[in-house]
Amino acid sequence: MSWIDERLTWPSTTNIEYLIYSIKEIWTPNLVITNYVDDFGLIGIYEDGPVPLRVSNEGRVVWTLRVATTTTCQADITYYPYDIQTCQIQVMEWAHPVNEVDLLPEGIVSSSFQSDGEWELQSAYLESYGEIGAHNSTYEKIKYTFHFQRQFHWYIPLMMIPLGVLSLLMPGVFLVPVETGEKMSYALTVMLSFTVISSFLFETLPTVSVNYSLLGVYISATMTCGALMIVCSLVVLFLNYPADDSDRMRTVKAFDTSAFVFFFSLMVLMMVCFLSILNHPIADKDVSVLGIMLGVPITASVLICSVVIIFACRRSSHIKDTGT
């Protein structure tokens, strides 16, 4: 930053082009970061040695500051890991009103941003406005706003693919014959694998957010469906015991087929809706995201299962008629 101090001028006929001062020797603006996390956010107060001030013979003071600051940033993980976070740095002059010290921002140099591999700077802008402070005086405030896009590419092989594969493996429990005795072991193994991956993913989510995470909703819905599949498998095992009645075995087979069609179509449609919403966020707040993500797959799965059952019943009656 730079400003003109008329008290620090000298004739240009001298061979002295500039002088070096510390902040204890000349006047400096009292700048503070208002959304600072630790301490008071005062800029330059403890920078006597490392950050000198260069003064030219015209009285222009140049103060080059390097500030490592930690500010508050309200996270929104609705579309995690395809989320865009907005963070701000708010700087203001807290000792002098705008009629005494006026801050004139020059802009943001986005090229100096270095990506850490997880976040990419999408856009940055600033705005300057007055804020009413002590004694009803107006103080100048500058707000720097940064939009960061999460680099989601490494999440695809480590998160999206395992979740999708395990969710599609869950309905496979209804394809395992009851006679093998591996029905429950298969269901519990897949459910345990999904739980382990889900616990790892929940550790990467921020603990505080203004909205719920669609990924968390998807994982919770999938685990609920997995628990329902285990309950259905217990019902199948109960109905199949003892396994000496051919009519009972046909009933169990029909139940397994219907349950597989319903849950498999539900897992596929729920995953498709989840990925579609992540890649194409819904801007209209009146549209229920949960209704699309959960309501549409459930309704469509019920219709698909009903169509399959009706077709199977007609085919079974046709076979009986042909046999007679």
Per-residue model confidence (pLDDT) at position 46: 54
Which residues of the chain carry a pLDDT beneath 70?
38-42, 44-50, 208-210, 241-248, 284-287, 312-324
Q: What is the pLDDT of residue 319?
A: 45
User: What phi-psi label fits residue 151: left (phi over 0), alpha (psi between -120 and 50 degrees) or beta?
Assistant: beta
- 265 vs 304: CA distance, rounded Å: 8
Encode pLDDT of 86-139 as tens digits. 888 888 887 888 888 888 887 787 777 777 778 888 888 888 888 877 777 788
Taking CA atoms, 160 is separated from 33, 80, 198, 243, in Å, by 39, 11, 11, 40
Q: pLDDT tens, 182-212? A: 888 999 999 999 998 888 887 777 776 667 8
pLDDT of residue 321: 47
Structure tokens at 48: 């006597």
The neighbouring-strand residues paired with 287 are none
Distance from C-alpha of 322 to C-alpha of 37, rounded to nearest angstrom: 80
Per-residue pLDDT, 50: 55
Look at residue 242 in the predicted model and tell me its pLDDT.
Answer: 62
Q: Give me the pLDDT at residue 169, please.
A: 92
Contact 34, 93 (CB under 8 A): no
pTM here is 0.75
Structure-block tokens of residue 2: 């730079």
Please give the Cα distance from 173 to 248 (Å, whole number). Answer: 19
C-beta of residue 291 within 8 angstroms of C-beta of residue 277: no
Query: According to the model, what pLDDT value does residue 40 have?
Result: 59
